[in-house]
Chains A and B, each alone.
Chain A
Amino acid sequence: GDSVTQTEGPVTVSESESLIINCTYSATSIAYPNLFWYVRYPGEGLQLLLKVITAGQKGSSRGFEATYNKETTSFHLQKASVQESDSAVYYCALGATNSAGNKLTFGIGTRVLVRP
């Protein structure tokens, strides 16, 4: 089946430092999955951070970027300079759209702690 592997947390960084969370995927049910990063802030539900549906394209939001690399089956999340408000859990996911809706396969989530 489909699977997603991402950096195990917690990841601790200082404010203004760079952050990278690795994500690799295996998609057996669909040739060109959609790729997502969701974020969960404390006390809230998951919310979409960014998504990319075309291989080779880059998505960006709130200073975060991720590039859909079909050759390496990766979708790493990066930010050049983090803020304390970026402390959250980040989930990489792949989506296979079919008659079963928009099935998402998630990674385990990476908790990020940003020190002031």
Chain B
Amino acid sequence: EAAVTQSPRSKVAVTGGKVTLSCHQTNNHDYMYWYRQDTGHGLRLIHYSYVADSTEKGDIPDGYKASRPSQENFSLILELASLSQTAVYFCASSDAPGQFQDTQYFGPGTRLLVL
């Protein structure tokens, strides 16, 4: 069974502080993704990675950095957390692109509240 785990599951942060969200997958997938979901919006792609030590910007990368130190781990970093970054964050992994390999497997989400 494919597995993607995230930590922490919830976090309260202060404005201006640094926040690191972690994601770990045991799927042996090359691709990993970070999404955020806000009320009234679908999931939106922040960053993704297709190989260790390399990350790419998604649709809404401003205010976020990402790190992929290994195939299994992918972190999302908020250097200076802001109120607008309060959201639920989802990590996902998938095989390389291809119509029959494009299913993404998601973690349970991290609920972040910035005060």
- A residues lining the B interface (CB < 8 Å): 4, 34, 38, 43-48, 51, 53, 91, 93, 95, 97-109
Contacts and interface: CB of A to CB of B under 8 A. Distances in A.
Nearest to A99: B97
B102 A95 contact: yes
A4 B48 contact: no
Interface stretch (B12-20, B68-76, B104-112): B104-112
B107 A34 contact: no
Contacts of B4: 45
Contacts of A93: 42
Interface string B33-73: 10101001111110010100000101000000000000000
Interface of B: 4, 31, 33, 35, 37, 40-45, 48, 50, 56, 58, 90, 92, 94, 97-109
B106 A34 contact: no
B109 A109 contact: no
Contact of A104 (B37, B104, B107): B104
A109 B42 contact: yes
A95 B43 CA distance: 13
Contacts, number: 64
A106 B106 CA distance: 14
Contact of B109 (A45, A51, A91, A103): A45
Contacts of B98: 97
A53 B103 contact: no
A45 B45 contact: no
A41 B42 CA distance: 16
Given A34-B102, A108-B42, 13 more contacts: A4-B42, A43-B108, A47-B105, A97-B97, A97-B102, A98-B97, A100-B56, A101-B31, A101-B33, A101-B50, A101-B94, A102-B102, A106-B44
A105 B44 CA distance: 7
Given A97-B98, A98-B97, A102-B31, A51 B103 contact: yes
Contacts of B101: 102
Nearest to B50: A101
Contact of A91 (B43, B97, B108): B43
B106 A103 contact: no
